[in-house]
Chain A
Amino acid sequence: MSEVYLNGKFVGDVDNGQAFTQQLIQERRKGTMSDLLNVFYDGITDEVTIESSKGRARRPLIVVKGGASLLTDAHVRSLQKNELSWKDLVSQGIIEVLDALEEEGALIAFSPTELTPEHTHLEIAPVTMLGLCTSLVPYANFNQSARLNAGSKNQKQALGFYCSNFSVRIDMDTNILHHPQMPIVNTIMHDVSNYAKHASGQNIIVAIMSYKGYNMEDAIILNRGSIDRGLGRSTYYRPAIAEELRYSGGLIDDITVPDKDVKGYKSERDYRLLEEDGIIFPEAAVNEGDVVIGKTSPPRFLSGMDEYSLASSTRRESSVSARHGEGGVVDFVLITENGEGNKLVQVRLRDERIPEIGDKFTSRHGQKGVVGLIVPQSDMPFSSSGIQPDLIFSPYGIPSRMTISHLIELVGGKTGALNGRFVDGTAFDAEAEMDLRKELLNLGFKENGEETLYNGVTGEQYQAQIYIGNMYYMKLKHMVANKLHSRARGPIQLLTRQPTEGRAKEGGLRLGEMEKDTFIAHGASLLLKERFSSDKVIVPVAEESGLIAVEDKYQKKCYCPLTGSTENISYIEISYAFKLFLDELKSMCIYPRLLLKNKF
């Protein structure tokens, strides 16, 4: 007697679990049972588990009977002629979709050559073991698995052609690559996923060599000429959004050019790009601080008589302007209504991004790097045939990471480019490296992909042979233009009077605990004081009570908050945060008393 569980619930017993399971599988293959059903017999606990619930990860496999694949050459031929479809194969029981549990009881052959009578299934293709992004890595089976993870993660961040109707969409923070290309060395997954229609990288010439130390620590060197010809160029889109919100009392925001008497009016210059409707015009060049959508809001707190006074005089300015450090060209203006019927204005800004020092690039093998130097084309190394690399990659990135696929792609790309064809680099089923080498040799190149290069500056021949070829490189979405930040003076927080934090708020760069320690260790006491004086204040102290005195600027009077005496008041310099701390103590009924002493 075997117990039977359906979707985790006990439903009854059968006499022979093994036979029952086999019968169920046969029925499913015949089509009398749903192909969404999976069943597994556990011999140890003598239980049959049937699963038909949603959310299981399942994968297709070819059914094997008596050591022979049910999928024959005849099937493949009719598939090619479009006489047969995937669905037919499933309904004929040739292909079966297993879930993780049923897979437990299956013996799956990796390739047809290793089939034995014990095998129950055969892999359709070994790549199906990998995920979508990982199967886009060419020659993936030559790599360490950690690099494959890195490689597929990097591809997700690559700029490309994310959707074909981007020109009429308002998306947050999107990028479009200007000249996307299909990789020369590709995998079957590139075809399956229609990669040519939404590619996200470019085939470029890569030389693996050092260049004056500017490609240390994973940095890369770019060719200025290649950039001028459009390498890695992209457009960055970011929308500015304004909505006419409704407030209680029938008050409403107004999208318009604000009047001069509006509270918080910026300056006439800031509003210069707005048209009469308060919205900027398309193709206007916007700089930081320029108003993109003019808007005024009703006063924040309405009370008593305010309602009857002139509304406009108390209205607040609430325009949307280009952020700090960001500008661009107005690309698209959309005026519409949102779900609540409020007027909604969306303005999309566009900014052309030409590769610069600090932009991030990657190949498909987890070999990401940041541009360290852009070299004029005239100074780039060249080969005897006049080929100059678009990108120089440092050889020191290879040994510790062991990304063999990176090296094979370079030869593959070179062969493909010279012969005008694509190279299949599907994991486990790729074109053999030896074949590529032979082909390269026949094309008149050195079979190992090395070439004699000449120093672009002096014209001298390099002593070493340089490994050079074509590779697929991608620009990643992390661009310095979005991250560059510095500050000397700027906004401070209201509570502590210390500098704000973060780029968006034009914040300061914190001198932290450990940085502080370095100053102390050097004995640089006064330098430390100066660095920490961002919130220093000079406060009057009533020496008698030890409290911070009240300073009445109108009456030009300074008195003790406890006794009211104006005697014995001294000024001291402390950090505002400490003054705040004293205030907090007082709010908890703790009396912090400052005892002053002459410094000298």
Chain B
Amino acid sequence: MWSGLPKRSKNKMERPELPSYLKTKIDETASKMKVDKKKLLASATEEYLSAQVEPGECVGLVAAESIGEPGTQMTLNTFHFAGVAEMNVTVGLPRIIEVLDARKTISTPMMEIYLKSPYNKGKDIKKVALSLKETALEEVIKDLSISIADLTIELTLDKEKLKDISMMPVTVQKLIKAGVKELNMKIKDDLIILNLKGKDVHLNQLYKAKEKLKKVFIKGVKGIKQVLPVKKGDEFIIVTSGTNLKDILKMGTLIDTTKTTTNDIFEIHDVLGIEAARQTIIIELRKVIDSQGLNVDMRHIMLVADIMTNTGVIKGCTRYGVVGEKASVLARASFETPIRHITNATLHGEMDHLSSVVENVMINQPVPIGTGLPGLITKIKK
């Protein structure tokens, strides 16, 4: 007869112990609260053990169902925008799919830039924000035209706008010179006249040079397309659309490098490593799930993030990622593109050890989960 789990204390089994850091913490608390150390430790251990997952528990499937079930409810309110006003952020199911599939290019890359004191109290916040924004030449031009007769490009700078981003016309002129090397520059008062080097200049070339000119990088951080100072709690942060974590983190005097983050998992992976990427996956999933008012246990999300990152690279939950690396041929074939998997398995002479769930369902054998997991070992008397 099955009579529940064996009581660990009554059993002669070795009593499992708490990790040492928890023990010291409990000791501290006990002395602080002036309670019996032993009693507290005993009940804490009991709690700790009951929170542990039993052997044979099928955590992956439960995690999948626990995220998938509320996901079905999310399909309806998909195209709602949340977060910062004026900035368009993907939320809801599309965002979850984006994270879980580990898309390389996400639809709305975003950064949250935390600032060092005194900027985080709002000092020069607008100026700081604008200095981060990527500015191209075309944004500070008053007038840009091609003179067909002289085969020159004529350009006037907008001094007001230059003032906004605190730049001198001279520096801009230098940047133009460095940015488009095929042009000669002449300056007449405010007017900048540019003409192509060399003889036999064709109008087409001039047009191309003009387009190139427009995109000349003037100021800011590359990739930061929009900036928006926002008050979060009691400090000011800058929310951006477009990300460039690497370059932003270099500005250590201005920004708080410990808190600044982006929602691009791959960028985090490149700059900060795989552990940080795992944490970002968790945070990003959590954000969407919380914003929809759903309740999913943290450990399900952590498990998914672990599986996506445990090889050191980010794998999506797709046939190219997590599923594609399953050991079993039958399990892979039962997911997507069965013909491809079976032909490949044939070509390589793959062997299926039938060690997971799907394969055993297919051949009608007990699945190695729960009651199907333990085997019985007996000594046969001779």
Contact = CB atoms under 8 A, between A and B. Distances in A.
Interface of A: 516-517, 520-526, 528-529, 532-533, 535-536, 573-575, 577-578, 581, 585, 590, 595, 600
Given A521-B58, A529-B364, A532-B364, 10 more contacts: A523-B371, A524-B370, A525-B370, A529-B367, A573-B364, A575-B363, A575-B364, A578-B362, A578-B364, A590-B342
A598 to B, nearest CB: 12
Most interface-central of A521, A574, A578 (chain B CB within 10 A): A521
A595 B352 CA distance: 10
B144 interface: no
Nearest to B343: A590
A595 B364 CA distance: 16
Given A585-B342, A590-B346, A595-B351, A521 B364 contact: no
Contacts of A516: 361
A279 B205 CA distance: 94
Contacts of A581: 362
Given A526-B366, A536-B364, A521 B61 contact: yes
B364 A520 contact: no
Interface in B151-207: none
A455 B71 CA distance: 46
B312 interface: no
A525 B367 contact: yes
Interface of B: 56-58, 61-62, 65, 342, 346, 351, 357, 361-373, 375-376
B364 A523 contact: no
Contacts of A532: 361, 364
15 contacts: A520-B357, A520-B370, A521-B58, A522-B370, A523-B58, A525-B366, A526-B366, A526-B371, A528-B366, A532-B364, A574-B363, A574-B365, A575-B363, A585-B342, A595-B351
B363 A520 contact: no
Nearest to A525: B372
Nearest to A590: B346
A422 B351 CA distance: 80
A527 to B, nearest CB: 8
B62 A521 contact: yes
B361 A525 contact: no
A523 B361 contact: no
Contacts of B372: 523, 525-526, 529
A297 B346 CA distance: 49
Given A525-B373, A526-B372, A575-B362, A520 B346 contact: no
A523 B363 contact: no
B64 to A, nearest CB: 8
Nearest to A574: B363
A547 B346 CA distance: 16
Contacts of A517: 61, 65
B62 to A, nearest CB: 5
Nearest to A591: B346
A523 B365 contact: no
Given A525-B370, A525-B371, A595-B351, A520 B365 contact: no
A524 B372 CA distance: 8
Given A520-B357, A523-B56, A578 B363 contact: yes
A523 B366 contact: no
A524 B376 CA distance: 17
A577 B57 CA distance: 28
A520 B61 contact: yes
Nearest to A592: B346
A525 B368 contact: yes
B380 to A, nearest CB: 10
A525 B369 contact: yes
B65 A523 contact: no
Contacts of B364: 529, 532-533, 535-536, 573-575, 578
Contacts of A590: 342, 346
A526 B65 CA distance: 21
A529 B365 contact: yes
Contacts of A533: 364
A574 B362 CA distance: 9
A62 B58 CA distance: 73
Nearest to A529: B366
Contacts of A535: 364
A595 B362 CA distance: 16
A520 B362 contact: no
A522 to B, nearest CB: 7
A520 B58 contact: yes
Contacts of B351: 595
Contacts of B362: 575, 577-578, 581
A524 B365 contact: no
Nearest to A581: B362
A520 B342 contact: no
Contacts of B363: 574-575, 578
A522 B369 CA distance: 9
Given A532-B361, A575-B362, A595-B351, A523 B342 contact: no
Most interface-central of B61, B364, B365 (chain A CB within 10 A): B364
B61 to A, nearest CB: 5
Contacts of B365: 529, 573-574
Contacts of B373: 523, 525
The 4 A-B residue pairs with the shortest CB-CB distance in the complex, in nearest-first order: A523-B370, A525-B372, A575-B364, A578-B363
A511 B228 CA distance: 53
Most interface-central of A524, A528, A535, A574 (chain B CB within 10 A): A528
A447 B101 CA distance: 64
A72 to B, nearest CB: 55
Contacts of A520: 58, 61, 357, 367, 369-370
B187 to A, nearest CB: 54
B22 to A, nearest CB: 28
A383 B257 CA distance: 79
A523 B346 contact: no
A134 to B, nearest CB: 28
B153 to A, nearest CB: 44
Contacts of B369: 520, 523, 525
Contacts of B368: 525
B218 to A, nearest CB: 48
A546 to B, nearest CB: 11
B57 to A, nearest CB: 7
A532 B366 CA distance: 10
A178 B65 CA distance: 51
B300 to A, nearest CB: 12
A526 B367 CA distance: 8
A533 B363 CA distance: 10
B92 to A, nearest CB: 23
Given A578-B362, A590-B342, A595-B351, A521 B65 contact: yes
A301 to B, nearest CB: 36
A535 B362 CA distance: 11
A528 B61 contact: no
Nearest to B362: A578
Contacts of B376: 600
